[in-house]
Amino acid sequence: MAASLIYFDNNATTPCDPRAVEAMLPYFFEKAGNAASRSHPFGWEAEEAVKQARERVAQLIGAEAREIIFTSGATESDNLAIKGVFELYRPKGQHVITVKTEHKAVLDTCRRIEKLGGEVSYLDVGEDGLISLDALESAIRPDTILVSVMWANNETGVIQPMEEIGAICDKHGVLLMSDATQAVGKITVNPRAAGVHLMAFSAHKMYGPKGIGALYVSRRQPRVKLSPLIDGGGHEQGMRSGTLNVPAIVGFGRAAELAAGEMEAEGQRLRRLRDELERALLSRVEEAHLNGNPEHRLPHVSNIAFRHAEAESVMMSFKQRIALSSGSACTSASIEPSHVLTAMGRSAEMAHSSLRFSLGRFNTEEETALVIEAVAGGVEKVRSMSPVWELFRDGMLDG
Ligand SMILES: *Cc1c(COP(=O)(O)O)cnc(C)c1O
């Protein structure tokens, strides 16, 4: 590799767009007021900047500014939505429905709901990562208060049919929440049009700063109410107290504005690169299998299983100089196969042999070509040292 490092891990986080950083800078220095200070121009200026950022974020998702609650990120937004609904709607029922392939921020929050006495149903997905609409509808009960389905999956990019899901929830009068962290700023996302009442997303997955995110909370038809996680000065309509992170909010607003303007062209450019990467790897490398539905997918994500080529070893073959993500997750105690890939019916072995490629705004055609060479070569090298691959090649193993 001639160049230094290549970053193909944009689903983990994206670098900030310099234009977002530029917008933020004055709010650290000459415009460093507290947006809640009402008695001097520093406060007014900060308040005005937050107002404008809120409008830009709202506009990106076709919402009203008052429907945006700023949080520290999507993890907090997921917690606020699920725990906030559970606490307030508990007298009505204690049943929540979610999906096995959700992000840990949703799954672990649902575990907490179970500890608090709630009941959670975890829907299966098909081999392609999509949920069954019939299974969703059958899981809804009279005491169901919330359905939580992610818009697009962080590991596979698979996009769930949110409008159909919204119609089912509407028919049964159940609130619908969606973790749209990977979708917002990448594809058109409109919670109101899809019948989504609560929606979590984050700036650092769309070229804004880390540590700032939002929860969309529908304010009309229906007007959704929540119990806050954090009590205090009553900021953010009482749903999230604490002094607003003005520079980060401004960066988030600018990132949203940029995404609104550039998302479509950028999506097309990244789709071309991603498709080229996928075509090359699937045709050149034996026993390479795409993970996830090939059509209902984000344009910049590809997840491929390379049978009997352990992903961590493949990455070691190019000394980790290309940033990718493997189908293995390190938990406190061990290395576990991705819960997303195993829920899709992949074996632990295939999950550990899977690589996620997530392209972004700053990736180039040259980088894509280098990644293809490095990964194809890496898989070959790992297999050449693997007795298991040899047995498989000789037909002595079936999987
Ligand atoms: C990254 C991510 C999160 C967590 O977002 P933070 O802003 O880092 O807390 C939650 N859900 C999904 C789907 C993600 O991709």
293 within 8 A of 128, measured Cβ to Cβ: yes
Q: Is 8 helix (H, G, I), strand (E, B) or coil?
A: coil
Pocket of ligand 1 (CB under 6 A): 73-75, 103, 105, 150, 154, 179, 181-182, 202, 204-205, 213
- For 229, the domain range is 18-257
57 and 200 inside one domain = yes
332 and 183 inside one domain = no
398 within a domain of the structure (yes/no)? no
99: CATH: 3.40.640.10
- What is the whole-number distance in angstroms between the Cα of residue 148 and the centre of ligand 1? 15
Verify whether residue 110 is a known catalytic residue.
no
251 and 282 inside one domain = no
The arithmetic mean of pLDDT across residues 9-22, rounded, is 98
339: CATH: 3.90.1150.10
Per-residue pLDDT tens over the stretch 349-394:
999 999 999 999 999 999 999 999 999 999 999 999 988 999 998 8
Per-residue pLDDT tens over the stretch 173-206:
999 999 999 999 999 999 999 999 999 999 999 9
252 and 279 inside one domain = no
279 and 233 inside one domain = no
Q: Which of 125, 137, 129 is nearest to 176 (CA)?
A: 137
Is it the case that residue 328 has pLDDT exceeding 70?
Answer: yes
214 and 300 inside one domain = no
Q: Lowest-confidence range among 118-132, 224-238, 329-343? A: 329-343
92 within a domain of the structure (yes/no)? yes
Number of the ligand 1 atom closest to the C-alpha atom of 75: 9
222 and 283 inside one domain = no
What is the amino acid identity at position 292? G
119 and 100 inside one domain = yes
Q: What is the DSSP letter of 304?
A: E
**Residue with CA closest to ligand 1 atom 7:** 73
- What is the whole-number distance in angstroms between the Cα of residue 276 and the centre of ligand 1? 27
Instruction: Name the H helices within the chain.
Output: 18-24, 41-60, 74-89, 104-115, 133-139, 162-172, 191-194, 246-284, 311-317, 339-343, 348-352, 365-384, 387-393
Q: Is 127 helix (H, G, I), strand (E, B) or coil?
A: coil
169 and 301 inside one domain = no
Q: How many domains does one find in the chain?
A: 2
Tell me the pTM.
0.97
288 within a domain of the structure (yes/no)? yes
For residue 151, how far is the Cα from the chain centroid?
8
Give me the phi and psi of 115, to 5 degrees please: -65, -30
Mean pLDDT for the chain? Answer: 96
Per-residue pLDDT tens over the stretch 132-168:
999 999 999 999 999 999 999 999 999 999 999 999 9
Q: How far apart are CA 68 and CA 200, in angstroms?
A: 10
- What is the whole-number distance in angstroms between the Cα of residue 50 and the centre of ligand 1? 22
Q: How far apart are CA 329 and CA 336, in angstroms?
A: 5
